[in-house]
């Protein structure tokens, strides 16, 4: 099962990243408190099974939040706009790096990036690759006007890339899997996919990896493992989340230039992540 995810960093004062419960059993994400709901409310009761930890659905003011093991695997809005999360930054990166050629998301879940992409004016076709058809059904149910923008492929990411004949201008790797009470990157994200992604990019293409740390892949080893396959690399760090986003390709803008572009786009989007990220050389 492939998902898209982010993990909040430890509390830092008034960080807007933390999700907690109020005294009435409701979920708060530093926005309006609303009752928690179950998957049955969204017609997706089969998102879990005997070997997959139960998915938790939380209604927010803008749509639905999907959580597993306490990790947000998707922030789905039913209208164009910000999620105030990692998904906004991923969407802003896709717009800030206007590389020609096909674009694909490896790991779609319920499409948390689509609402901020729509708000930022993204109008290119988008391939979405995921094994989880039930989460995609949630996207189709709550975002019917955007269904035509996304071509969904039920497939394992590596196998799908091997079958592609064309090269891509943009590939976003956003996979994760539930393991032992946590949500982590699958082994393929560190071992197989970086080289496959490099081969499937055209010479001007860019790849974006949404990374989560785990004991087997600390940052000082994980990022160089992927970065070493590409000529240029930048890293986006978050104030509110443990995630790091690795941007790689043959040629990239400077860290300062990309930081400026992301800041402008996040402010245009109205995302609370504006001013809460840092772009550094990889």
The predicted-structure confidence for 173-228, as pLDDT tens digits, reads as follows 998 887 776 778 888 999 999 999 999 999 999 999 999 888 788 888 889 989 99
First vs last C-alpha separation in the chain: 29
* Contact status, residue 127 vs residue 107, Cβ threshold 8 Å: no
> Three-state SS for 216?
coil
- Please count the helices (runs of H) and the strands (runs of E) in the chain: 8, 16
pLDDT on residue 103: 95
pLDDT at 21: 29
- Report, as ranges of residue numbers, the positions in the chain whose pLDDT lies below 50: 1-3, 10-52
How much is the pTM?
0.78
Instruction: Give the C-alpha separation, 63 to 118, whole Å.
Output: 15
Q: What is the pLDDT of residue 58?
A: 76
**What's the confidence (pLDDT) of residue 43?**
37
Quote the pLDDT of residue 18: 35
User: What is residue 93's predicted lDDT score, i.e. its pLDDT?
Assistant: 97
Q: What is the pLDDT of residue 127?
A: 94
Query: What is the structure's pLDDT at 45?
Result: 34
Say what the pLDDT of residue 131 is: 85
């Amino acid at each position: 099962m492939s998902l898209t995810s982010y993990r909040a960093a430890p509390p830092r004062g008034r960080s807007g990243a933390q999700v907690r419960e109020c005294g009435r059993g409701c979920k708060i994400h530093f926005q309006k408190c609303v009752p928690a709901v179950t998957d049955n409310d969204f017609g997706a009761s089969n998102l879990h099974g005997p070997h997959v930890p139960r998915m938790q659905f939380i209604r927010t003011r803008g749509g639905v939040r999907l959580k597993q093991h306490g990790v947000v695997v998707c922030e789905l809005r039913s209208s164009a706009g910000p999620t105030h999360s990692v998904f906004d930054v991923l969407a802003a990166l896709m717009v800030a790096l206007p590389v020609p050629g096909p674009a694909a998301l490896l790991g779609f879940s319920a499409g948390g990036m689509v609402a901020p992409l729509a708000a930022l004016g993204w109008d290119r076709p988008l391939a979405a690759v995921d094994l989880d058809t039930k989460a995609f059904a949630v996207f189709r149910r709550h975002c019917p006007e955007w269904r035509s923008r996304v071509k969904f492929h039920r497939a394992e990411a590596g196998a799908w890339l091997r079958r592609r004949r064309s090269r891509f201008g943009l590939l976003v790797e956003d996979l994760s899997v539930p393991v032992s009470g946590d949500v982590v990157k699958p082994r393929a994200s560190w071992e197989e996919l970086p080289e496959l992604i490099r081969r499937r990019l055209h010479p001007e293409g860019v790849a974006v990896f949404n990374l989560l740390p785990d004991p087997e892949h600390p940052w000082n080893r994980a990022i160089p493992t992927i970065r070493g396959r590409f000529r240029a690399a930048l890293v986006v760090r978050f104030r509110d989340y443990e995630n790091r986003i690795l941007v790689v390709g043959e040629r990239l803008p400077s860290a300062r230039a990309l930081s400026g572009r992301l800041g402008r786009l996040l402010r245009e989007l109205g995302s609370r992540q504006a001013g809460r990220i840092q772009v550094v050389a990889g």
